[in-house]
Amino acid sequence: MLVHLLVISAGILLIGTVVIFLIESPHEDSEIKTMLDAIWWTAATVTTVGYGDVVPITDLGRMIGVVFMFIGISILGIFISTIGASLIRTRLIHGKQDMTNEEQHEKIMKRIQKLEETSKEDKENILSKLKEIQDSMKHTSKNSD
């Protein structure tokens, strides 16, 4: 996914460079006179840095600037969410391997056995705490109404 995002970003940078160069360079007052100026402007705009040292002067160039700003924000959002999802996925499955049904059943049975071995006093303690939590939630719910 990140490789695809990198390729798309490079394509957007290339398209933005060519488009803004073709629109802005013919104008005398334009600050975007070379392809290097266009690359600089596109990179600064798409990465949302926006130094402001090179800006389009035509209305069409400015509208394209707005489009590339939103594209840059979208790419950044996709990048961050992809990294976050990857980290969460890694954390959820870290140390866990695919288990067969028998292994899952055995693991569940061991946990049930552990619960059954819990003393009556511990079970009553757990139930008491759960009751307190339930009462607290009911009380909070009534106060918010």
Q: What is the pLDDT of residue 145?
A: 58
Q: What is the pLDDT of residue 102?
A: 83
- Nearest Cα residue to 32 out of 44, 8, 12: 44
Q: What is the pLDDT of residue 126?
A: 86
Q: What is the pLDDT of residue 107?
A: 84
- Length of the chain measured in residues: 145
Q: What is the pLDDT of residue 94?
A: 62
Distance of CA 54 to CAs 3, 38, 50, 71, 85, Å?
A: 30, 9, 9, 19, 36
In the chain, where the domains are located: 2-93, 107-144
* pLDDT tens for each residue of the chain, 145 residues long: 788 989 999 999 999 999 999 999 999 999 999 999 999 999 999 998 888 899 999 999 999 999 999 999 999 999 999 898 888 877 766 655 566 778 878 888 888 888 788 888 888 888 898 898 888 888 777 776 5
CB atoms within 10 A of CB 111: 10
Fill in the DSSP letter of residue 95.
T
- Outline where 47-119 has alpha helix (H): 59-93, 101-116
Specify the pTM: 0.59
- Nearest Cα residue to 47 out of 68, 64, 67, 72: 72
Buried b (16+ CB within 10 A) or exposed e, 83-102: eeeeeeeeeeeeeeeeeeee
- Nearest Cα residue to 20 out of 3, 52, 43: 43
Helix, strand, coil shares of the chain, percent, nearest 5, are 75, 0, 25
**CATH architecture entry for 2-93:** Orthogonal Bundle (1.10)
